[in-house]
Every structure is written in C-alpha cells, then in structure tokens.
Amino acid sequence: MNTITLDITNIFSEQIGREGLDGAALAEAFPNLETYNNDLRHSPYPFMKLPETRFQFHEMKSLAEKIKAQGIKNLVLLGIGGSSLGTETIFNALLHPFHNYGREFRGEAPRYFILDNIDPHKINSIIEVIEPEIEKTFLVVISKSGETPETISQFMIFKELLKKSGGNFQERIILITGKEKGILNKIAEKEGYQTLNLPDGVGGRFSVLTPVGMFPAILMGIAVDEIMDGAQAMSSHIQNKAGMENMAFVLSATLYNMDKSGKPIHVIMPYCERLSGFADWFKQLEGESIGKGGFGPTPTKSVGVTDQHSQLQLYVDGPKDKCIMLFYAAQDKRPIPDSFPYLDDVSYLAGKDLKDLFHAEFQGTCLSLTEANTANFTLFLEDINAYTLGVLFCLFEMVTVFLGTLYKVNAFDQPGVEQGKIYTKAIMGKKEFESEGAKIEAILSSPKKIIAFT
C-alpha cells in the first residue's frame, strides 16, 4: 500500500516531439548529483538527520498527553510560511476534510485554526469563533527568531484573549522557536511558557519534520512515527540508489532541464485533494530556495479535476513554457446510480464507479497534454497515509537541495524575503531600521498613476 511510482515517459522527445528532452540531458546531471550526494553522506545538512534522530519526540509526546488531559477544544497555530505550510499539509492529507465540523469527524481531537496571515477580517472571525470556548483553547506560536512581525503581533493579540480567560493561562500556550536565543525564548523565560525548539541549522521551509510540524500532528493523534519511517526509508533510497534508479536525482534533473529548455513554470497538479496542501508546501520550498540571482523556476498549483475546467486550456493550447507535475492517488469508491435511465446521453455513467471516472479524467488530461506536446510526468501513490506523506516530504526536500547544486545557488537563504521584512519593520517604527526611512519616503512619495472608480 506504500508504493510510489514515477512515470517520466511524457517528458521525452520520443513522446512529445521537439518540446521534449533528450534522454542524455538527464544523464548529464547525474555525475554532479552523485558527487554531491556522496559529500552529503559524510556531511549531511541538519534537516537530513531528523528522520533518524526524531528530535524532541519524547518531549513532544509527553507534553501532548498533558495537553489532551486538559480537554482542549480549539488548537490555534500562529505561524507563517514554513512555520505553517507543513502542518497544513499534514492536516489536509491525514485528517477528515470536515474535521472542524463536528465530533463525528474528529473524535476527541480539537478543532484547529492555522493563522498564516494577518488579514484583520480573518483574525477577527477566528476570535469570534473561539472566544466562547477561550478557556479550552490552546495556542501554538511558531517563529525561529521570534521577530516575525506577523506572528508576534498575532501572539500579542491571542495572549491577551487567553489571559482574560483566567486561571493559569500560560499552561495553554507553547512557543516553538530556535534554541536559547531569540525573542520568544526571552518571553518564555519572563512569563513562564513551555517551549519546544527547532534544531540548529534547520530553516523554516525545511522544518516540517521538527516540532513545527510534528507537535501539532501529535496533538491531533496523527501517527508521527510513521511519517518519520517513510522519510527515513526515502532517505535511505536517496543515499543508496544511483542514476535513473534514484528518484530524487531524476526529479531534480527533470525540473532543472525543463527550466533550461524554456519551461520555467512548474505546475504542481495533484489528482487528490488531500495533496492540495502538499502542492502549496512545495511551491514555497522550490520558489524560495531556488529563485535567486535572476534565475529559477516558477512553481504554481492546479488541482485535478477542478482545474481541467480552468487551467487545462492554457496548458494544452497556450505557450509551451510549462512542465506539468501530476500526482495521482485514489482509493475511495462511490457507485454512480442509474438515476436517469431515459437519457441516453448520461447512460454511459450509470453503473460505473466515481473512482473510475476520476481515473478517466486523469488519463484524459495526460493524453491531451501529451498530444499537445506539453511536458508532463506523474507520481502515482498507492495510498495517502502517514508513511507515504513522510516519503514525499523527504523526497522533495532532497529534490530541492539537488536543484540548488544544479543551479549553483544557496538553497537555504532567502535574501528577497529579508528586504521586505526590513521595510515592514521600518514602516511600523522599529528603532534600528530608522535608516530605511528616507528610502521608503522617496519610494512612497514618488508620483502615482491612479485610476479611481466611485
């Protein structure tokens, strides 16, 4: 049930003509990747050790048991980017899609609210929902530095709400941050909050297998050890397989060569709504890690079958600047009844199964893309479970690392993001950023071209 198969048939020129790759293009990347992979065996990045070390698993499980004993009804997670996308991916993939709608869907687990934006309307709406049960609400605050203005401002708001609920409200707040240093550690020491940590050297977008993703998952009763087992199995595969047998090599070489052959737009298109969150997670991972120095692919997201009726026209009949990365997984069945026996136009559906129609839609997309000479490849998953999700996390983290070496960029920094943070802090009046004031004023006071409708 845990098999994952990669089919790259439809990326080659034999299948899609001049828009396809020559098989030698992939092979040319393998020596570089082999050398880099050998180096990583002796000196792995810190995130690569997580499936084996299972950082702070004992502490997380012990803490989660104490929290569950409090009868928590709402889990509010404050974090943005890498601090939230991994958890969102796990919840979307492994919890009931209507988890928050009732106990019949979630059992004894709490409702969850992941606040990855500071839109005041959304914040006010969440507060409206949880305030009647604020004394049964648990807050998880995630920021490696503690200085993320979005997260710290949310914390300031929700802390005061919990404080008004009375009792030892500190027991219903946990901070997940970097070790020892940082603002959240200062706050925790001063006000008595419990903390979990990010391991040294693990950045936000590579943090899903740390307490950032694992602790909320434990609170929801998700089998985190199975996630780690899957990640560990894929890690072993990547370390021990060579050339075309190494799935991470093939994927990274494919994505790199697609960009270099004029297809810089990487469309992540899961035929499985449970992997919609995974597409968002990988969008950040690839975009923020590789988009540097004027180069890098542009990841985007579609969902089958929904986007067959919106984006597929573009993918088939538009410019050939896209590579479509399909994920397919379907286990559930639902018979289609013969509801309209008097209509010949729909009789072909009667007696079939919705799973069969879903698969036919997927096949139709692949065939139409291939016939239109649009590069596409597919990852087939036998099942979506904790183990296979762990496999995907490890696989695509390593694909991103290998893309970094192919593009010759540092996959672990994000200079373009940092400047926006500096401007935000300067506009909001943070003292050490006063020097940015003149630059900001010059930009904001420049002549505007505005069209208004009233």
Residue 433 has pLDDT above 90, yes or no: no
Q: Is 309 a catalytic residue?
A: yes
> Would you place residue 12 in the very low, low, confident or very high pLDDT band (cuts 50, 70, 90)?
very high
Per annotation, catalytic residue among 355, 421, 425, 430? 421
Q: Is 245 a catalytic residue?
A: no
Per annotation, catalytic residue among 19, 88, 288, 397? 288
Give the per-residue pLDDT at 447.
Answer: 84
Specify the higher pLDDT residue, 417 or 43. 43
CATH superfamily, with its number, for domain 56-198: Glucose-6-phosphate isomerase like protein; domain 1 (3.40.50.10490)
CATH 3.40.50.10490 is the classification of domain 4-39+227-407: yes
Q: Assign residue 54 a region (left: φ > 0; alpha: ψ between -120 and 50; beta: otherwise).
A: left
Residues present in the chain in total: 454
pTM here is 0.94
Residue 76: beta bridge partners? 113, 139
Share of the chain above pLDDT 90, in %: 87
Per domain, the residue ranges of the chain are 4-39+227-407, 56-198
pLDDT tens-place string over residues 83-141: 999 999 999 999 999 999 999 999 999 999 999 999 999 999 999 999 999 999 999 99
Q: What is the CA radius of gyration of the chain?
A: 24
Share of the chain above pLDDT 70, in %: 98
DSSP secondary structure letters along 413-441: --HHHHHHHHHHHHHTT-GGGGGGHHHHH
Measured between alpha carbons, how far is 168 from 151 in angstroms, rounded to an integer? 22
Q: Per mean pLDDT, which of 19-28, 181-190, 257-266, 416-425 is the most reliable?
A: 257-266
Query: Mean pLDDT over residues 432-444, rounded?
Result: 73
> Would you place residue 264 in the very low, low, confident or very high pLDDT band (cuts 50, 70, 90)?
very high
Query: Mean pLDDT over residues 239-260, rounded?
Result: 97
Give the per-residue pLDDT at 355.
Answer: 96
Q: Is 421 a catalytic residue?
A: yes
Contacts for 33-37: CB closer than 8 Å, 24+ residues apart: 33/246, 33/249, 33/252, 33/253, 33/402, 33/405, 33/406, 34/242, 34/243, 34/249, 36/402, 36/405, 37/238, 37/239, 37/246, 37/249, 37/402
Residue 426 has pLDDT above 90, yes or no: no
Give the per-residue pLDDT at 414.
Answer: 85
Residue 154 has pLDDT above 80, yes or no: yes
Give the per-residue pLDDT at 441.
Answer: 75
Query: Mean pLDDT over residues 399-415, rounded?
Result: 95
Token pair belonging to 300: 């985007």
Lowest mean pLDDT among 171-185, 303-317, 324-338: 171-185
> Would you place residue 279 in the very low, low, confident or very high pLDDT band (cuts 50, 70, 90)?
very high
What are the backbone dihedrals phi and psi of residue 111, each rounded to the nearest 5 degrees, phi first? Answer: -65, 155
Residue 370 has pLDDT above 80, yes or no: yes
> Would you place residue 298 in the very low, low, confident or very high pLDDT band (cuts 50, 70, 90)?
very high
Per annotation, catalytic residue among 58, 121, 190, 309? 309
Average pLDDT, the chain: 94
Measured between alpha carbons, how far is 454 from 449 in angstroms, rounded to an integer? 17
